[in-house]
Structure 1
Amino acid sequence: MTSLWLASRSESDAPGIATDPFEPGARYDEVIVGAGLTGLVTALLFARAGRRVAVLESRSIGAVATGRSTAKLSLLQGSQLQKIKAHTYQAIVQAYVDANTAGQQWMLDYASTRGVPVQRRDAVSYAGTPGGVETVGREFRLARSAGLDVRLVDTLDLPFETYGAVVLPDQGQFDPLDVLAALADDVRALGGVVIENTRVTGVRASDPAEVRTSRGVVSGARVHLTTGVPILDRGLYFAKLKALRSYAASYEVPVGKAGGAALPQGMYLSVDAPSRSLRTVPGAGGGAPETLIVGGNGHPVGRAADTQALVDDLHEWTALHFPGAMPTHSWSAQDYETPHRVPFVGYLPRGRGRIYFASGYDKWGMTNAVQAALTLFGDLMGDTPSWAKVLHHRVTLPAAIGSGIGANAATGWWALKGWAGALAGPATDALPMPAEGEGLIGRSGFRPTATSTVAGRTCQVSAVCPHLGGVLTWNRAETSWDCPLHGSRFAPDGTLLEGPTTRDLRV
């Protein structure tokens, strides 16, 4: 599954995003791990301040969350404010809005300066069922109290039934790969390096910090972990974050066939289940038809009975409401949710003041990634933003503690379920050959095994996640092995794709 953004860049005449050579033993001022939006904005801020910067990316620039997002640069974020309020208090809600406002404004200014196209659109959080009406009202009141210029509407010009919405005008949307390409160019122009296909496997908090990678060792005065989830277990943040996966697809819709109406020109998100996200993408050259993106059907990683059914459901829903819609690309993205619904940003415990991280954007990375970068830079340059000071000193309330306990109880249940099912199941030798696109769990003695057939090739690897020993589940939509504990994911041959672990599966 490849996102519209990643596919369009590889299929177009746009120049690729270059990678720099890896220099074993090199020493930098700032080593940034992860070349998504957080990592590259952080790198640019430090490079502008005269620091020698290296960005290390395990795959390719934008390969994970940023390049697979719907890229909405919005301060209205579904029902996010009331979720935060339910787990914290009003001052945190205000600081969150202020932080995202700063992130949004920085990105708009940067895009304008660099000529990156941004489409200004209304953001709309709507009720898809009568039960969502109260949620819309609560979000409106919280957004208004936080200073956002929102309004309530009773009806929307959409080809399906809605029950009211809150609207925030003049938000933004863009192609995230355009932004990443500009950022990478600017980092390099200031003397930084951006190195792909270099997996960081460990960091020692020495002076300077030692960064171990799949290609050798480099060092830095400071290390910034800007991966989706920290790859170091210091602070146990993997246990404080819930890994979530959601789906999106792009469609060509014949003009005039979208239920008798034009394609929706806002950025829409339902506040109730089933989740639905909509936006459009301008046609190439301004004359081609727009492309529709529909997203939704999120779930905890590794815990969905049939991921392909969730993708099929998106296609069926779109075909029903936008007649003639033809899917062009389908993809999925992984996000992480904190117990209090506010991102973690700051120093990593037991890092001796040399290791920093940012995580937990809860599907709102286009603004939160930038505010996290601004926070990291401000903290370390002695100019912490006022909103960051409030977020740094938030008090953990019982609601957030309860949320964390519940999430970890579910993780424990999945750990027991996985091992019990594997050990009670058939031996690997007794399993049939998996059909194309399928994966099966077996056991070799007391060792769970994972066997799959993809593109005519059958692979057998360990079914045990190398992070904390969870038994993997098969993701049919993406033909991957996913860990239901903390969200590590692997290709059929055992190659690590993403998550808190740094190791491939044993073969």
Structure 2
Amino acid sequence: MTSLWIDRAVPVVDEPLPGEDEHLDALVVGAGLTGLTTALLLARAGQRVACVEARRVGAVTTGRTTGKVSLLQGTHLSRIRRHQSEEVAAAYVDANREGMEWLLRFCDDHGVPYQRRTAVTYAADDGELSSVEQEHRAADSLGLPVVWRDRLDVPFPHVAATTLADQAQLDAMDVLGALAAQLREHGGTLHQGHRVRSVSKGGRPTVRLEDGRELTADRLVLATGTPILDRGLHFARLEPQRSYVLALEGAEPMDGMYLSAGSDARSVRDAPGGALVVGGAGHVVGRTDSHLAHLDALRSWTAEHYPGTSETHHWSAQDYSSPDGVPYVGPVTRGSERIHVATGYEKWGMTNAVVAARTISADILGEAPSWAQVLAGRSTTPSNAGEIARINLGVGAALAAGAARTVRERLPGSSGPAPARSCGVVGICTHLGGLLKWNDAEETWDCPLHGSRFAADGEVLEGPATRPLVRRSEE
């Protein structure tokens, strides 16, 4: 399942790791948009920075995004307003505006192409209409010049929409390539294929890589989707979401980027060269009986409404939602100011990744923007607490379902799940022991508790797990 963007990206070259006794001002873990932007901002300020990546640049979320750069983010603003104050919602918009402006200015300065488009949040049917109306009112009250439209020039069903002109779309891998080049130009280094297994707990942060080597820095930035460090218990306050994307050829250019307001959302945009990019059919990671069924549902919808197109790529992506819709960005815990994390973008990483990089670099260098202070100082409201409870009730239900499945598989005459036997691994997550679900669309092991994912041979694909699955020969 290779994304359109990764398939056509120019490979980024590697450099030798810094020596274990070499001084680093900052070490960034993760070479997606958050990690590379943070590393570049610090390197521009004269810091000695290294960025390490477990696989390849953009291998996880950034290389699998739909690439929308927008301040109108589905129904996200009304969601934030339900859980937070007007001040926090306004700060979120200000932060994302700065993130968008920085990113597009960077693209202009370094020859990265992008296309201006109108962002559209639409109601696919009458049941979604009130959600779109709420989003329109929220965006308008927060100063965004949204325009209500009763009809759209699109082939799929809709009843109304709120729209925001002059937003943008791009190929995120183009951005990452330019960021990597600029990082090197400013003295930073980039190292791919080095997975972090653990992080020290005292003094200057030290990471241990899977080959046993260690790197130490004055500051550590974990830009890894969900933090690969249990301090702060971020995994217990995040809900990991998996969604699916198709790229198709034979489409006509369009002037909008579309996203429906329902829980089973549909995202539609074009791409240069006559491509159509359709996303959606999401679910909580590991909590579905068939991943292929979700992918097939997206294919059926696309075939119905864009019958003249043919599929060239399909892939899936993972994102994390926070209880109030605002990302967690800052020190991993109070008293751990040397270790920084960024997570919970909820599918809006093209702006929020830059916001996180700006926030973390300002924490390290000084002079944090006013919006960062408001977002960092937000309180846990009763509705937030309710969302945290809901997330953890879901984890508890997944634990119970896993225990019941284990009992069934151990009944006389049963020898366990066929994929586990054929792959030769123990289907137990190495993070907190969740019983893994086989992902029939991607042939991976997915954890229904906190979203860790493993290749068929047991190697880690996404955290919070950092250790591979136990092989049956090691039991």
Deviation at 1:264, TM superposition (A): 3.0
Identify the match of residue 15 of structure 2 among 15, 20, 28: 20
Answering whether residue 197 of structure 2 is matched by residue 170 of structure 1, we say: no
Answering whether residue 255 of structure 2 is matched by residue 269 of structure 1, we say: no
- 2:420 corresponding residue in structure 1: 451
Paired-residue identity, % = 47
| Cα offsets for 1:369-417 (capped at 9, x unmatched) | 0001001111222211111111011111100100101110110111121
Deviation at 1:274, TM superposition (A): 2.7
Please list, as runs of the form range in 1=range in 2, the aligned pairs for 1:223-242 lying within 5 A after superposition.
223-242=220-239
2-side partners of 1:353 and 1:295: how far apart? Answer: 38
Deviation at 1:429, TM superposition (A): 8.4
- 1:327 corresponding residue in structure 2: 311
1-side partners of 2:23 and 2:291: how far apart? Answer: 43
Task: Classify the secondary structure of the residue corresponding to 1:106.
Answer: helix
Structure 2: state its 5+ residue gaps: none
| Cα offsets for 1:123-144 (capped at 9, x unmatched) | 0000001111111111111111
Please tell me whether the aligned partners of residues 65 and 334 of structure 1 are also in contact (alpha carbons under 8 angstroms): yes
Please tell me whether the aligned partners of residues 253 and 322 of structure 1 are also in contact (alpha carbons under 8 angstroms): no
Answering whether residue 246 of structure 2 is matched by residue 249 of structure 1, we say: yes
Amino acid aligned to 2:320: Y
Task: Classify the secondary structure of the residue corresponding to 1:42.
Answer: helix
Amino acid aligned to 1:342: V
Amino acid aligned to 1:226: A
- 1:413 corresponding residue in structure 2: 397
Answering whether residue 457 of structure 2 is matched by residue 467 of structure 1, we say: no
Identify the match of residue 286 of structure 2 among 296, 299, 302: 302
Answering whether residue 87 of structure 2 is matched by residue 87 of structure 1, we say: no
1-side partners of 2:412 and 2:463: how far apart? Answer: 27
2-side partners of 1:27 and 1:427: how far apart? Answer: 57
Please list, as runs of the form range in 1=range in 2, the aligned pairs for 1:179-194 lying within 5 A after superposition.
179-194=175-190
2-side partners of 1:211 and 1:467: how far apart? Answer: 17
Task: Classify the secondary structure of the residue corresponding to 1:82.
Answer: helix
- 2:341 corresponding residue in structure 1: 357
Answering whether residue 388 of structure 2 is matched by residue 404 of structure 1, we say: yes
- 1:445 corresponding residue in structure 2: none
- 2:323 corresponding residue in structure 1: 339
Amino acid aligned to 1:266: G
Q: CA RMSD in A?
A: 1.5
Please tell me whether the aligned partners of residues 205 and 354 of structure 1 are also in contact (alpha carbons under 8 angstroms): no
1-side partners of 2:267 and 2:314: how far apart? Answer: 14
Answering whether residue 368 of structure 2 is matched by residue 368 of structure 1, we say: no
Q: Report the number of matched residues.
A: 469
Identify the match of residue 60 of structure 1 among 36, 56, 61: 56
Please tell me whether the aligned partners of residues 100 and 367 of structure 1 are also in contact (alpha carbons under 8 angstroms): yes
Q: TM-score, normalised by structure 1?
A: 0.90
Q: TM-score, normalised by structure 2?
A: 0.96
Structure 1: state its 5+ residue gaps: 10-14, 255-261, 284-289, 432-439, 443-449, 453-457
2-side partners of 1:18 and 1:34: how far apart? Answer: 16
| Cα offsets for 1:89-120 (capped at 9, x unmatched) | 21111111011001000001100000100100
- 1:31 corresponding residue in structure 2: 27
CA 1:62/1:351 → structure 2, altered by over 3 Å: closer, same or farther?
farther
Task: Classify the secondary structure of the residue corresponding to 2:13.
Answer: coil
1-side partners of 2:278 and 2:429: how far apart? Answer: 32
2-side partners of 1:246 and 1:362: how far apart? Answer: 11
Amino acid aligned to 2:142: A
- 1:257 corresponding residue in structure 2: none
1-side partners of 2:179 and 2:333: how far apart? Answer: 29
- 1:504 corresponding residue in structure 2: 468
CA 1:500/1:326 → structure 2, altered by over 3 Å: closer, same or farther?
same
Deviation at 1:208, TM superposition (A): 2.5
